[in-house]
């Protein structure tokens, strides 16, 4: 079960890697017209998303924390960007499909991360 959930996380974060890489290819670094901190954050995700996948498989507890933090912050930032109208006018009571998909994935991560954490084998301490 843990491997299956981590596999779903991995696919989601690799899709994020693709999305942010494509954004840089299409619009360059520090995507205009969003504020500089948003552009920096989105560009950083190009590297943080694949790092998260690596951590999920090599250091799963650390990876779970990073994955959760990224999803909470990314959904929040993207929602704020959409609502502010930086990428075009927002439509009342409507959510773009890409933001909806991302929010569902984020919800999946936030809801399942505690379960995965508890199902992981205990951390073995090195004896000195």
Q: What ranges do the domains of the chain cover?
A: 2-119
Model pTM score: 0.90
Q: What is the pLDDT of residue 128?
A: 64
In this structure, of 4-18, 52-66, 94-108, the range with the lowest mean pLDDT score is: 94-108
Q: What is the pLDDT of residue 7?
A: 97
Q: Does position 61 have pLDDT exceeding 80, yes or no?
A: yes
* Apex 49 CA angle, 46 and 53, nearest 5: 145
Q: Average pLDDT for residues 60-70, to the nearest whole number?
A: 97
CA distances from 31 to 19, 61, 78, 95 (A): 13, 32, 13, 21
* H or E element that contains 11: helix 2-27
């Amino acid at each position: 079960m843990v491997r299956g959930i981590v596999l779903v996380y991995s696919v989601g974060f690799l899709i994020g890697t693709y999305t942010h890489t494509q954004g840089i290819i299409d619009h360059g670094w520090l995507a205009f017209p969003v504020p500089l901190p948003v552009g920096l954050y989105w560009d950083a995700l190009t590297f943080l998303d694949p790092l998260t996948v690596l951590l999920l498989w090599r250091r799963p507890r650390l990876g779970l924390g990073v994955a959760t933090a990224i999803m909470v912050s990314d959904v929040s930032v993207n929602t704020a960007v959409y609502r502010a109208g930086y990428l075009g006018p927002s439509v009342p009571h409507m959510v773009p499909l890409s933001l909806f998909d991302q929010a569902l994935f984020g919800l999946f991560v936030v809801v399942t991360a505690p379960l995965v954490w508890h199902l992981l084998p205990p951390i073995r301490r090195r004896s000195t």
